[in-house]
Chain A
Amino acid sequence: MEAHGRVFKYGDNVDTDVIIPARYLNSFDAKELASHAMVDIDPTFVERVQPGDIIVARKNFGCGSSREHAPLALKTAGVSVVIADSFARIFYRNSINIGFAIMECPEAAEVISDGDEVKVDFDTGVITDITTGQTFKAQPFPPFMQNLIKMGGLVNYVNKKKEN
C-alpha cells in the first residue's frame, strides 16, 4: 500500500478544534465534515486538497478533544496520510480505528516542505520526498495495523476476524 501526493505543512499542536471546529459537530455526515476540514488553521485547504495529498506537521498533532470527527474529516477530504513528529493519543487511536493512515517520523516532519511531492510506502515505512530526492524511514506498521488500515478500519477488521 502506498500514498502519493502533495504536502500541506503545519506546525506544533494542531488541535481537533482547528481540524474540525465544534460548531460543525452537529453533523455526523462525513462529507459535510470534510467540507470544513482545517478551516480554522487553513481556510483554503478544502479548495486546494486533492485526493492522495499528505499532511506533514510537527509535535502533538490532533491534541484536544476525543472527537472521532477530526480524522474522519481529513480522510474524507482526501488526505492519504498525516506524517508528524508525534500525535495526541486519542487522535492516534481514532485515526487507526477509522482506517486513516498516520506516521510518526520526526526527521521527515522537520525537513519536508509545503508543496513537496511525497511518496509513502506503508509496508516498509519509507517516505520519499520526490521534490528533493531525500528519503526517510518511519517505523512501519505491524501487520495487524496494516490490515486494519487496508480494511478501512476497526469495524471491518473485527468483523473479518470473527469470520475466521
Chain B
Amino acid sequence: MGLTMTQKILAAHAGLDYVAAGQLIEADLDLVMANDITGPMALPVIRQMGGNVFDKDKVVFVPDHFVPNKDIKSAENAKAMREYAIEQNLTNLMIQGKCGIEHAILPERGLVYSGMTVIGADSHTCTYGALGAFSTGVGTTDIAAGMASGQAWFKVPEAIQFYLHGKLKPYVSGKDVILHIIHKIGVDGALYKSMEFAGPGVSELSMDDRFTISNMAIEAGGKNGIFPVDEKTIEYMKQAGVKDYKIYQADDDAYYEKVIDIDLSLITPTVAFPHLPGNGKTFDEIEAMEPIAIDQVVIGSCTNGRMEDMRRAAAILKGHQVAKTVRVMVIPATQNIFLQCIHEGLADIFVESGCAFNTPSCGPCMGGHMGVMAKGERCVSTTNRNFVGRMGDTEALIYLASPETAAASAITGYITNPVKLGGAQ
C-alpha cells in the first residue's frame, strides 16, 4: 500500500523506506521552535540534557505572545529566552521590532519549507503544512529534547483526505473554508490524524489561504494539515529565499481513512460562534437571528494576520468609518507585513477608518494584552480559538471569522455578511 505525503516525509526523516500508520519512529528534525510562553519553561529541561542546542541554525525562539513585554513576569521570561539564544549563538535571533508572530515569521524568512520535519512548542505549529512540510505542536519535554538532540519520536498518523474542487466566491477566503470543514467534521473529527488537502481546488487557493487552513488543523484535533506543493508554493519559497526544498507527493494508492469532498464554490462566509471553533454558522442562519451587536474587532494573529488578510480587510474598510461604539485592532503578523501595509497605503485606510494599527504580536488572541475583553463583551476576531476565557473574561463572547467578515462587522457594529457590504468585486 502506498504512503500519504505525511508518511513519506516521516519515513525519509527516520531513514526508512516504508512506515505504517500506528508505527512509532524516531525522526530527524529540521527545525525546532519555541515561543516566549513555552521557551522559558523548556530551558531548565534542556540544561538537564547538557544545556546546548544540537544545531544553532535549526533552533529558533520567537518572542511573540506577551511582547512587547506586558508585565514584569513576561519581561523576565523573554529575557531568559533571549539570553539563552545569545549564549547559544543562534543564527536566527528574533528580537521585537525585527520579527513577528512565529507561524508567520518562519515561512516569511524561509526558515520552513516543503519536505521538512518541524516541531514547535505551540499547538499551531501545524501552519507550515501549507508549504508541504510536516509540522506539529508538542509539549515541554519534547521541545527541550528536540532542541538538545535534533530528534523526536512520532507515531505515524493515518490520514483523512480533503478533496478540494471548484473556486471560491468573492468575499470568501481560507478562513471560511477551514471553519466550514471543522463544522463538518467536529473539533475531534481528525483526532490524531493528518489532514491532507488535495484536488484541483488547491491551486485556486492562495498561499495565505493555505496558511490559514493548515493553521486550524489542530482545531479539528489533527496532528498536522498538509498541502501538496505546486507552482504557488515554489514561487512563495523562492521569494522567501529558500533553495534546497524537497517535494514529497502522496502515492496514488495511498490509504486514506476517509475522503471528504469539499466544493469550494459552495462555501459562503462562515462565523464560528462561542465557544468552539466547530460552531460554524453561515449568514443564512445568522441573518435569521436578532442582529448581534459587537464591542471589538480583531484582525490579525497567526491565522489571519498576513498580507492578503490586510488587503482584504482594507478593501472593505476603505472609505468607511468603523461603527461609533466599536474598537478595532488591526495587527499585522510581521514587521514586513506592517511595512508593506504602509507602502500600499493600507495603514492610512486602517487609521483613517478608526482602527488601531498595532505592532506585530499575538496580542489579544490569547487574552494577553492589546485588546483583552470585559465581561459580557462581544468580539469578532480573525483568530483561531473562541474557548471560554480565551480573550479575557470568561463571560466575553468570541466569534471567529474571516478578515472580510471582521471588517464588514467593524463598519456596521454587528456581525455582518461581507458579501452584502462589499459591493462588486
Contact = CB atoms under 8 A, between A and B. Distances in A.
Instruction: Answer whether A and B are interacting partners.
Output: yes
Interface of A: 60, 63, 66, 68, 86, 88-90, 92-94, 96-98, 139, 141-142, 144-145, 148, 153-155, 157-159, 161-162
Contacts of B149: 158, 161-162
A124 to B, nearest CB: 16
B159 to A, nearest CB: 14
Given A89-B191, A162-B149, A155 B45 contact: yes
B206 to A, nearest CB: 29
A151 to B, nearest CB: 12
A23 to B, nearest CB: 14
Given A154-B145, A159-B50, A92 B139 contact: no
16 contacts: A60-B188, A68-B139, A68-B141, A86-B192, A89-B192, A96-B153, A97-B141, A97-B142, A139-B22, A142-B24, A144-B24, A145-B24, A153-B141, A155-B49, A155-B145, A162-B149
Contacts of A96: 153
Contacts of B139: 66, 68, 90, 93-94, 97
B148 interface: yes
Nearest to A145: B24
Contacts of A60: 188, 191
A86 to B, nearest CB: 8
Contacts of B184: none
Given A90-B139, A93-B139, A159 B191 contact: no
Contacts of B26: 144
Interface in B165-203: 188, 191-192
A31 to B, nearest CB: 18
A154 B144 CA distance: 10
A9 B368 CA distance: 39
Contacts of B221: 89
A137 to B, nearest CB: 14
Contact of B140 (A63, A68, A144): A68
A94 B153 CA distance: 11
Majority-rule SS of A interface residues: helix
B86 to A, nearest CB: 24
A63 B188 CA distance: 10
B138 interface: yes
B88 interface: no
A97 B153 CA distance: 9
B155 to A, nearest CB: 7
The 9 A-B residue pairs with the shortest CB-CB distance, nearest first, are A97-B141, A158-B149, A154-B145, A94-B139, A89-B192, A158-B145, A142-B24, A68-B139, A66-B139
Interface string B117-136: 00000010000000000000
A68 B50 CA distance: 22
Given A88-B191, A154-B142, A162-B50, A66 B123 contact: yes
Contact of B223 (A68, A89, A159): A89
Nearest to B150: A158
Q: Which of A96, A155, A161 has the most CB of B within 10 A?
A: A155
B48 interface: yes
Contacts of A88: 191-192
Contacts of A66: 123, 137, 139
Contacts of A155: 45, 48-49, 141, 144-145
Contacts of B50: 159, 162
A93 B192 CA distance: 11
Contacts of A141: 24
Given A63-B188, A88-B191, A139-B22, A159 B49 contact: yes
A89 B137 CA distance: 10
Nearest to A99: B141
A21 B217 CA distance: 26
A158 B139 CA distance: 16
A63 B221 CA distance: 10
A57 B144 CA distance: 30
Contacts of A159: 48-50
A157 B23 CA distance: 19
A60 B145 CA distance: 26
B145 A97 contact: yes
Contacts of A142: 23-24
Given A60-B188, A145-B153, A155-B145, A93 B49 contact: no
Nearest to B48: A155
Given A60-B188, A86-B192, 12 more contacts: A66-B139, A68-B140, A86-B191, A89-B192, A92-B155, A93-B138, A97-B141, A145-B24, A154-B142, A155-B45, A155-B48, A162-B50
A114 B42 CA distance: 38
A162 to B, nearest CB: 7
A8 B153 CA distance: 29
A58 B264 CA distance: 37
A154 B149 CA distance: 11
Nearest to A98: B141
A90 B138 contact: yes
